[in-house]
A and B are shown apart, each in its own frame.
Chain A
Amino acid sequence: MSVLVNKDSKIIVQGFTGSEGTFHAGQMIEYGTNVVGGVTPGKGGQTHLDKPVFNTVKEAVEKVGADTTIIFVPPAFAADAIMEAADAGIKVIITITEGIPVADMITASNYIKGRDCRLVGPNCPGVITPGEAKVGIMPGFVFKKGKVGIVSKSGTLTYEAADQVVKQGLGITTAIGIGGDPIIGTTTKEAVELLINDPETECVVMIGEIGGQLEADAAQWYKESGSKKPVVGFIAGETAPAGRTMGHAGAIVGGSDDTAQAKKRIMRECGIHVVDSPATIGIKVAEVLG
């Protein structure tokens, strides 16, 4: 088992023929991911990387049965690409694009509410189920198959965590990069919930950072769920200066819960095994799995 993506996922690439899309689609195909085609408006009918190119997502759904998409479309057009995917009936929408205007994401996240789809990202490294599907920009070889799930806001820190887990002789069920933007689709809580409910996942690594309430919400949910699956947590940014990433009034909405210290305290209170050093994530996972 795994979550979100597996060997049967029928994946399309939006922004397929662009440089980012081309490079990463190539890497995904090389990994063995079931890429069934791509979308670039105006280039429908062509073949790219030996896969069909479609003008619209709807066409890709109808002709090759796409159910998952990965978006490399430039920031100015990315929100539109998300909504197009949702409208076409795509179930899992993974958005890599960084730098989408907040106003566009308010519109897109409102649009997809109530529709039968799940957005991951934007500004994320994607999702990987080792040995089955790499739907993202992560280095595939770092992720060996195993029983540890990873949820993370960060790209390279996800690779770091996976590498540490693998070096302990363990492996990964699915690693979900949820993204570091103020508005994202799948939240920490939702990603943790998916992994806790996955029978093959025996431990979840949850990596967060300063700002927002996502980790606190996930910790609260974990406590209330009464789950016996261990969760190992790390929050980056203990040394980050206040007020640099968030506006002054924004800090109020977050309350006093969005510093690394506060998040770690809440996570510990909820029974999460929090490590203070990013160098000990793997060791802690091995320890809690006995």
Chain B
Amino acid sequence: MNLHEYQGKEILNSFGVRIQRGIVAQNKNEAVAAAKQLTAETGTGWHVIKAQVHAGGRGKGGGVKLAKNLEQVEEIAGQIIGMNLITPQTSAEGKKVHQVLVAEDVYYPTEGGETKEFYMSVLLNRSSGRNMIMYSTEGGMDIETVAEETPHLIFTEEIDPSVGLMPFQARRVAFNLGLSGAAFKDMTKFVSALYKAYVSSDASLFEINPVLKTTDDKIMAVDAKVTIDDNALYRHRDYVDMRDLREENPIEVEAKEVGLNYVDLDGNVGCMVNGAGLAMATMDLIKQAGGEPANFLDVGGTADAKRVEEAFRIILKDPNVKAILINIFGGIVRCDRVAQGVVDAYKNMGDAIKVPIIVRLQGTNADIAKELIDNSGLDVQSAVQFQEAADKVQAVIG
């Protein structure tokens, strides 16, 4: 589950990680009130207005701006809320901004002090099965670019799960980032708190870019990209409400509600498959047959009429779909039952289905299933072999 910056920061703050403080606002009046409150609480003169959407690169698209007075807070918040923010990580249409974070200015001057930006993330190293902290002196930049151009400036600390993050590792982070004095000490505290927050919140990704050293040597998270492990959400009921469905693809949300694993894609051939690996393989085969997959859809183990019907409805919400390929390997689930499900769903939906359908059923009772489809009188083509199905897809999309 992906979170907004303001939600991620709330979680960090609850575990003692210092953050750039801010208040979320839904409209420009709330933004002004938030700015006043922040000034009262933190003494900040200027404010940073930050679009809250699930996409990186917000600054590049004009979604992060500095306001030097309350008039500017109102003006900028008014501009950003409601805009379609286009960043390198969104589609060409961009993402609609529903709310902004009004944050304190943390780049204030201090006599003789200077700011420095770092990069830090916490994530799983799949190869070792352990968590790691990845960090770099090159903060505020796209980390992939850093990895490509100056890989020697990226460091990692792998955490032994038997003991957790050790003090020497926190010190090494601070040393590698070139810190000394008060900033060094504060960084060791920051890293320890950050790792504790990661483990305690069952996160699967923390990305803090930038981590800022202020002119007066405080270390804080200025941004926060936080992803929580969906499988662990049952341990964090208070986080469940943080899900912002407006940020997710509406068809995917609907699919999830009926228990289908669906990913919306740009192509013209819809597909309905049992099992994630076979679903991906089916998408690949559609491409090789000259089409483009319109979706990934795993119907799971029980492909009965109700489920097939739900899957049809989800797939047909995409107007680009010109054909649907159903690919089921019947194991424990018998193919004839799936075929009956397809026939029943098709009949129930009446005229809603206006595109050709190719059904490939293989495994238990595949022959009976093929007969059932062929004798149904419906505009459904059947196949038994994988390649045969691909050829039929090719034929219908021309």
Q: Do A and B come together as binding partners?
A: yes
A239 to B283, CA, bound (A): 6
A102 to B205, CA, bound (A): 11
Interface digits, B112-152 against A, CB 8 Å rule (1 contact, 0 not)? 00000000010111110111101000000001100100000
B231 to chain A, nearest CB (A): 5
Choose from A160, A210, A241 the contact partner of B278 (Cβ within 8 Å). Answer: A160
In the complex, chain A residues 47-102 whose Cβ is within 8 Å of any chain B Cβ: 75-76, 99-102
Contact A103/B199 with A110-B129, A137-B332, A142-B363 known, Cβ cut-off 8 Å: yes
Query: Contacts of A217 on B, CB cut-off 8 Å?
Result: 127
CB-CB nearest in chain B for A238:
B284
Query: Contacts of B387 on A, CB cut-off 8 Å?
Result: 277, 279-280
A280 to B132, CA, bound (A): 40
A233 to B121, CA, bound (A): 34
A160 to B362, CA, bound (A): 8
Asked if B5 is an interface residue, CB under 8 A from chain A, the answer is no
Whether B331 lies near A250 (C-beta < 8 A) is: no
Asked if A138 is an interface residue, CB under 8 A from chain B, the answer is yes
Query: Contacts of B331 on A, CB cut-off 8 Å?
Result: 137-139, 142, 156, 159
Choose from A236, A248, A260 the contact partner of B225 (Cβ within 8 Å). Answer: A248
A154 to B162, CA, bound (A): 31
Contact A153/B277 with A160-B329, A254-B126, A279-B386 known, Cβ cut-off 8 Å: yes
A101 to B1, CA, bound (A): 13
Query: Contacts of A27 on B, CB cut-off 8 Å?
Result: 332
Interface digits, B265-280 against A, CB 8 Å rule (1 contact, 0 not)? 1010000011111101
Whether A236 lies near B199 (C-beta < 8 A) is: no
A91 to B180, CA, bound (A): 51
Whether A239 lies near B162 (C-beta < 8 A) is: no
Contact A236/B126 with A241-B265, A252-B144 known, Cβ cut-off 8 Å: no
Query: Contacts of B386 on A, CB cut-off 8 Å?
Result: 160, 164, 278-279
Whether A239 lies near B229 (C-beta < 8 A) is: no
CB-CB nearest in chain A for B206:
A249
Asked if A212 is an interface residue, CB under 8 A from chain B, the answer is yes
In the complex, chain A residues 230-281 whose Cβ is within 8 Å of any chain B Cβ: 234, 236-241, 244, 247-254, 260, 276-280
Range, interface on chain A = 35 or more
A100 to B292, CA, bound (A): 33
Asked if B234 is an interface residue, CB under 8 A from chain A, the answer is yes
In the complex, chain A residues 200-223 whose Cβ is within 8 Å of any chain B Cβ: 207, 209-213, 217
CB-CB nearest in chain A for B142:
A248
Contact A249/B205 with A76-B234, A110-B161, A163-B362 known, Cβ cut-off 8 Å: yes
A241 to B287, CA, bound (A): 13
Query: Contacts of A211 on B, CB cut-off 8 Å?
Result: 126
A280 to B281, CA, bound (A): 12
A49 to B267, CA, bound (A): 48
A251 to B147, CA, bound (A): 11
A76 to B234, CA, bound (A): 9
Whether B143 lies near A249 (C-beta < 8 A) is: yes
Whether B283 lies near A240 (C-beta < 8 A) is: yes
Asked if A105 is an interface residue, CB under 8 A from chain B, the answer is yes
Whether B56 lies near A248 (C-beta < 8 A) is: yes
CB-CB nearest in chain A for B331:
A139
A102 to B144, CA, bound (A): 24
Query: Contacts of B161 on A, CB cut-off 8 Å?
Result: 106-107, 110
Asked if A129 is an interface residue, CB under 8 A from chain B, the answer is no
A86 to B98, CA, bound (A): 50
Query: Contacts of B292 on A, CB cut-off 8 Å?
Result: 239
Whether B296 lies near A240 (C-beta < 8 A) is: yes
A237 to B287, CA, bound (A): 11
CB-CB nearest in chain B for A156:
B275
- Count B-side interface residues using an 8 Å CB cutoff: 62
Asked if B232 is an interface residue, CB under 8 A from chain A, the answer is yes
Whether A213 lies near B127 (C-beta < 8 A) is: yes
In the complex, chain B residues 197-242 whose Cβ is within 8 Å of any chain A Cβ: 199, 202, 204-205, 207, 225, 227, 229, 231-232, 234-235
A159 to B335, CA, bound (A): 14
Whether B284 lies near A236 (C-beta < 8 A) is: yes
A233 to chain B, nearest CB (A): 13
A76 to B287, CA, bound (A): 38
Whether A154 lies near B134 (C-beta < 8 A) is: no
Whether B329 lies near A159 (C-beta < 8 A) is: yes
A26 to chain B, nearest CB (A): 11
Asked if B288 is an interface residue, CB under 8 A from chain A, the answer is yes
Choose from A110, A138, A237, A249 the contact partner of B207 (Cβ within 8 Å). Answer: A249
Asked if A109 is an interface residue, CB under 8 A from chain B, the answer is yes
B144 to chain A, nearest CB (A): 6
In the complex, chain A residues 151-188 whose Cβ is within 8 Å of any chain B Cβ: 152-160, 163-164, 180, 182-183
Whether A239 lies near B286 (C-beta < 8 A) is: yes
A227 to chain B, nearest CB (A): 23
A110 to B131, CA, bound (A): 12
A238 to B278, CA, bound (A): 12
Asked if B375 is an interface residue, CB under 8 A from chain A, the answer is no
Query: Contacts of A278 on B, CB cut-off 8 Å?
Result: 278, 281-282, 284-285, 386
Contacts A/B (CB < 8 Å), 17 sampled: A102-B232, A103-B199, A105-B129, A107-B161, A154-B277, A159-B329, A182-B124, A183-B126, A209-B277, A217-B127, A236-B280, A237-B284, A238-B284, A241-B265, A253-B125, A276-B284, A280-B387
Give me the interface of B with A, judged by CB distance under 8 Å: 56, 121, 123-127, 129-132, 134, 143-144, 147, 160-162, 199, 202, 204-205, 207, 225, 227, 229, 231-232, 234-235, 263, 265, 267, 273-278, 280-288, 292-293, 296, 329-332, 362-364, 385-387, 390
In the A-B complex, the 5 residue pairs with the closest CB atoms: A154-B277, A156-B275, A139-B331, A157-B277, A101-B232
